[in-house]
Amino acid sequence: MSTESAAAKPAETPETDGPRDFIRQIIREDLAKGKHTAIRTRFPPEPNGYLHIGHAKSICLNFGIGREFAGWCNLRLDDTNPGKEDPEFVEGIKDDVRWLGYEWHDLRHASDYFEVFYRAAIKLIQDGHAYVDDLTAEQMREYRGTLTEPGRHSPFRDRSVEENLDLFRRMREGEFADGSKTLRAKIDMASGNINLRDPAIYRIRKVTHQNTGDAWPIYPMYDYAHCLSDALEGITHSLCTLEFEDHRPLYDWFVDNVDLPNHPELWQHMRDAGFRTEPAKPRQIEFSRLNLSYMITSKRKLAQLVSEGHVDGWDDPRMNTLRGLRRRGFTPGGIRLLIERLGVSKQNSVIDYAIFENCVREDLDASAARRMAVIDPLKLVITNLPEGHEETLTFPNHPKDESFGTRQVPLSRELWIEREDFAEVPPKGFHRLKPEGEVRLRGVGIVKCEQIIKDAAGNVTELHCTLDPDSRSGMPGADRKVKGTIHWVSAKHGVPAEIRIYDRLFNVATPDDESDGKTWIEHINPDAKRTVRGWLEPSAAGVEPEQRFQFERLGYFVADRVDHRPEAPVFNRTVTLRDTWAR
């Protein structure tokens, strides 16, 4: 049995200081009534893909509640669908949970309990609550009925207990072909809840499993395995999204009829192997999922983006997978802040993506040191500085937090500035550099544009400016006012870098809405990624991957976690300084 305990459990937060949503209120009431001595939750993803931003809400909720109420939360991989699952996804899920700042009490797999599920299925057969059906999947759909018409009984529904036990054991031994037989629960084919119309419990699939190999030719269905896993682990509060609300009666039916607490013979072999949890009946509570505009959270569609080459992989910074968001530079703190501000409710809604970006900006504003970079360079020559001039200036690393310290920035006669910071014919309200105009070079002083150099095609290639020496720090004219301040990088000392400018992957708020006659693929934003060659001040280049900075006046950037090297820097833009989509 696979277990993996936390290396260090997060500090407990007094529950009185935590959020006060309807789920936490239920837990407080349960504790007040003495219903539980400890709160136990779980995060149960299927390892058939990488986690996306929608999973972050469940992670923060389940692990957060375990932390707040001095309980614990398991990470459980619901690996009941072999063929689509992969150890790579398992490792990715573990990595993402840790990146968000959480550790689990135990790492579990639904496959750890396959023997329990099998014994429980035999009990259901013996109790007359399950039967082996020979109908094909298509026939079962036909017999199931509709929302307005009841289903019909399978002609195999009344097989004897002995026959069902024999057939099920032979299914287990691999005697029958894939799809030829199914174990179904015997509940109510006329139920208004279609989930209760004799749902499948086991199907035959002779597929190698990522955790158990070829030990099992039959696999339990998700609804059956999920609720029994919760019960086995003693989960007190089973938290899931609203689409599972109609599944709750089925979960309760399985848990009640298997009755693990009163049938230790079903799981005693696990106790002998070191399993220490006492089974219990969990309480399922549903909450609304996290839906953001300009995003999709369908695993199938995310996989399609990767397989068809619309993105560069699961960790492409345009993807809303947690791996993609991480590579783009989004922070765990920004994601947690989003979840905290949105709260928990039962009302489905679509949240403006700008709210997410603002949470990340807020977190980065406090945590990211400042640096200067130029991503569309134009040469500026300070003509009244001598050839070969070099000096070193001291800049604060963070204008709002002295604890970040200072850094040394080299200055030379020739600089790079942003091309957009010069206009030969300035528009109204333009307060940057223009012919005969003045602007303050950040931390240097005021320069005046005296001459414009152009190439044969008429493109501006160089600006010749003079520096007012009295406007430098400590000089009598240091306080002289000009309307514009621009940043720069020393051309002699600057480090060339690959700068990747990322934006939202889709150019419409609801990419799944095809009412405009376009498919969701056609809503991909062609400007979601562009690559430019820029220049960095030296202290921005020689950093480790995933170091985040605010490049002054440009936005927040991160050293790419895959491609960045100090000798060949690669930075990704995380977000702009302001919401550019609002316009």
Report the catalytic residues. 46, 289, 299
54 is annotated as contributing to ligand binding: yes
DSSP notation for 338-364? HHHHH---S---EE-HHHHHHHHHHHH
φ, ψ of residue 191 in degrees (nearest 5) = -60, 145
Token pair 């895959």 in the structure block, residue: 562
Other beta carbons within 10 Å of 416: 23
Q: Are 576 and 330 in contact (CB under 8 A)?
A: no
501 is annotated as contributing to ligand binding: no
Report how far residue 418's alpha carbon sits from residue 565's, in angstroms, rounded to the nearest whole number: 24
Report how far residue 341's alpha carbon sits from residue 359's, in angstroms, rounded to the nearest whole number: 9
55 is annotated as contributing to ligand binding: yes
* 205 Cα distance to chain centroid: 31
Q: Are 295 and 512 in contact (CB under 8 A)?
A: no
Q: How far separated are the first and last CA of the chain, in Å rounded? A: 55
47 is annotated as contributing to ligand binding: yes
262 is annotated as contributing to ligand binding: no
109 is annotated as contributing to ligand binding: no
User: Bridge-partner residues for 43, per DSSP?
Assistant: 75
58 is annotated as contributing to ligand binding: yes
Contacts of 569 (CB under 8 A, 6+ apart): 495, 496, 497, 498, 536, 540, 541, 559
Output the six-digit token pair for 170. Answer: 């032979």
48 is annotated as contributing to ligand binding: yes
Report how far residue 401's alpha carbon sits from residue 308's, in angstroms, rounded to the nearest whole number: 46
213 is annotated as contributing to ligand binding: no
78 is annotated as contributing to ligand binding: yes
Report how far residue 477's alpha carbon sits from residue 413's, in angstroms, rounded to the nearest whole number: 21
DSSP notation for 11-78? PP--GGGS---HHHHHHHHHHHTTS-SS-EEEE---SSS--BHHHHHHHHHHHHHHHHTT-EEEEEE-
226 is annotated as contributing to ligand binding: no
Report how far residue 235's alpha carbon sits from residue 361's, in angstroms, rounded to the nearest whole number: 36
222 is annotated as contributing to ligand binding: yes
289 is annotated as contributing to ligand binding: yes
The binding site consists of 46-48, 52-58, 78, 222, 241, 289-290
The binding site for L-glutamine consists of 78, 222
